[in-house]
Amino acid sequence: MSKAASESSAATKVSSFVLLAIFIMLVVAIMALILAVQAYSIGNIEVAVYLLIIGFLGVAASTYVLFQTRQRIIRLKIETPPITTTIECRKCGFKSVREFQRGDYIFKEVEPCQKCNEKMLITAIYREVREKGKAPFPY
Ligand SMILES: [Zn+2]
Query: How far, in Å, from the CA of 39 to the mean position of ligand 1?
Result: 81
Instruction: Looking at the structure, tell me whether residues 72 and 91 fall in a common domain.
Output: no
Instruction: Looking at the structure, tell me whether residues 102 and 49 fall in a common domain.
Output: no
Domain termination site, one of 79, 104, 122: 79
d(CA 66, CA 41): 32
Instruction: Looking at the structure, tell me whether residues 97 and 36 fall in a common domain.
Output: no
Sign, Cα dihedral of 38, 43, 45, 47: negative
What is the extent of the structural domain holding 90? 83-136
Q: Which residue has the higher pLDDT, 75 or 11?
A: 75
Contact in structure between 100 and 83 (CB atoms under 8 Å): yes
Query: How far, in Å, from the CA of 41 to the mean position of ligand 1?
Result: 84
| Averaged pLDDT for residues 59-64 | 89
Instruction: Looking at the structure, tell me whether residues 53 and 106 fall in a common domain.
Output: no
Instruction: Looking at the structure, tell me whether residues 14 and 70 fall in a common domain.
Output: yes
Q: What is the pTM of this model?
A: 0.44
Q: What is the pLDDT of residues 28-53, one digit of tens each?
A: 999 999 999 999 999 999 999 999 99
Query: How far, in Å, from the CA of 108 to the mean position of ligand 1?
Result: 16
Query: How far, in Å, from the CA of 89 to the mean position of ligand 1?
Result: 5
Instruction: Looking at the structure, tell me whether residues 25 and 70 fall in a common domain.
Output: yes
